[in-house]
Structure 1
Amino acid sequence: MAPPQSPGAGAVSEAALPSSSSAATASTSTATALPTNYLPPIVKNDPARTGFDPQTKWWVNYFKILAGQVTPEGQFHYREWRTTANEAADCKRCEDWRDFALQHSPTVRFLREKIEALNGRLDKDNVICRRCPARLTEDGEVHRQSGGFSPDHGILICANEVRDRTHLEDTMAHEMVHAWDHLRWKMDWTGDKDLKHAACTEIRASMLSGECRWARESITRGNWTLTQQFQDCVRTRAVISVMARPRCKDDVQAVKVVNQVWDSCFSDTRPFDEVYR
């Protein structure tokens, strides 16, 4: 993050992340979360329209889905219904994976040390696993998130969205880059002063966390393009994140802001020496 694009260059870095365990709502800065007032109206389930009826047994709805008697909208509501029922088990699994990453992941341990060097602290007390409800909006889009960072609470890991231990490690690394940026510079998370701050930290988090490496893009997301795949992934995810900021007017502004900071922020791998994952 070199000037002039870097957020708050030269700011003091003595601020510490709090140890509060109330990070259940710490999703306002996540790469994929969209504020409720930004979205079109949320679609609620109507069993007569969708075929999914939460008043019946889960296996009845499951076989209705297999028989093609439930619409895609109904399948979304079914999935959300099941994640609610499985919340305790999902959170327990997430916490086990989190504890493993904190102890054994080279990336997580490195970032944790660098955050501690800036007088911050991230551990199981403020890296919290919770269920994160997805949103289906009237435009047909499904909005999910896998995690989030809040300067006041810590890191949120969405237990119902992390697919495996590697996915959780990528999510933690993404949010820990945000935490490091927050401690290293004075970040404007909401864009009240400058959306370039948000764009820069999102570029860096997607670049350094491993979420845009070739295997993740090709196998998980089905993007088999070889040319500029890594850069395209980082840019796309940064644009989506900037669009989620309340001060961002539209996708045109988001693309413009990302382009303005791209060269300096994409080349900034701190606190790593290079792109590790």
Structure 2
Amino acid sequence: MASTTDTLASLPSTSTSSISTSTTSSKPLDPAYYTWSNFFSILTNTATPHARDEYFRTKDHLNEARDCARCDKDKAWLFSYSPIIRFMQHNIDLLGPDSGTASIKPENVRCRRCDTKQSGGFDGEYGILVCANHLRNRGHLEDTIAHEMVHAYDHLRFKLDPYDLRHAACMEIRASTLSGECRWTREFFTRNQWNLTQQLQECVRRRATLSVAARSSCKDEAMAGRVVSEVWDSCFTDTRPFDEIYR
């Protein structure tokens, strides 16, 4: 029987497209790509796309144990001391065991190496997957877990179909709005988005559109944008379980 980690990796996420983890990679590792020459060619923008991809794939393989250990340590700290993580955990617990899945606890937030570019994913049966090799720091992990916990709350609180694009768009709008990942400082310092007005709305709309566009039932980004616009007014203003946008 497959482990819960294997199963989580094989199931479609309700927050992103399917995420490949270290248990699903079959391509052999070639450490020859993880060299100083490749590193400097990436810095000078002379590396080929293949060399760039292989460099980072090899780096992630070699640093997998370190990345996951750091992720697990930071995860434990966040569940003890982060206001937003503790608040979301409390409100998920309030929904009760009859809501259909277990509460989100540190043990069902799993740090793994991922072969795709997502930071994490949520599955209603197995919990949250965090891509340890894509995390910049503890703050990035906090945003990622908070995002997925908003998905967990929505999964328990509402009758959502993750394969319905309108539902998916609403989930992504709420998660990007409430997790803090679209706050001004995050956009300004890590994503080079320097708008001074409507920055939050533009970030949420951009990230929700990209997430919906990545789903197999969505034809293209234009279709994703239309779906996001259809549900925008009701979903962006829905801040439950917060009284207002937290940060």
1:256 equivalent in structure 2: 226
Q: What is the TM-score with the length of structure 2 in the denominator? A: 0.85
Conserved? CA contact 1:148–1:155, under 8 Å: yes
* RMSD across aligned positions (CA): 2.4
Is 1:25 aligned with 2:9? Answer: yes
> Could you list the runs of 5+ residues in structure 2 that have no partner in the other structure?
21-26, 97-101
Q: What is the TM-score with the length of structure 1 in the denominator? A: 0.76
Deviations 1:42-98 (A, max 9, x none): xx99xxxxxxx935384xx22344266743431221011011111011000000011
1:128 equivalent in structure 2: 110
Conserved? CA contact 2:213–2:221, under 8 Å: yes
Q: Which runs of structure 2 are paired with 1:3-152 in the superposition (5 Å)?
A: 24-25=8-9, 28-29=12-13, 31-33=15-17, 54=30, 56=32, 58=34, 61-66=35-40, 70-119=47-96, 120-134=102-116, 144-152=117-125
Counterpart CA distance in 2 for 1:161 and 1:110 is 25
2:151 equivalent in structure 1: 178
State the SS of the aligned residue for 2:240. coil
Is 1:266 aligned with 2:236? Answer: yes
Q: Which has the higher contact order (CA 8 A, sep 6+)?
A: 1
> Could you list the runs of 5+ residues in structure 1 that have no partner in the other structure?
1-19, 37-43, 46-52, 135-143
Corresponding letter in the other structure for 1:222? N
Q: Which has the higher helix share?
A: 2
Deviations 1:208-251 (A, max 9, x none): 00000011101100011112111000001111111122211222
Shift of 1:33: 3.8
Conserved? CA contact 2:14–2:162, under 8 Å: no
Conserved? CA contact 2:13–2:122, under 8 Å: yes
Conserved? CA contact 2:33–2:54, under 8 Å: no
State the SS of the aligned residue for 1:233. helix
Shift of 1:162: 0.9
Q: % of aligned pairs identical?
A: 50
Larger radius of gyration: 1
1:41 equivalent in structure 2: none
Corresponding letter in the other structure for 2:158? W
Count of matched residue positions in the alignment of Structure 1 and Structure 2: 230
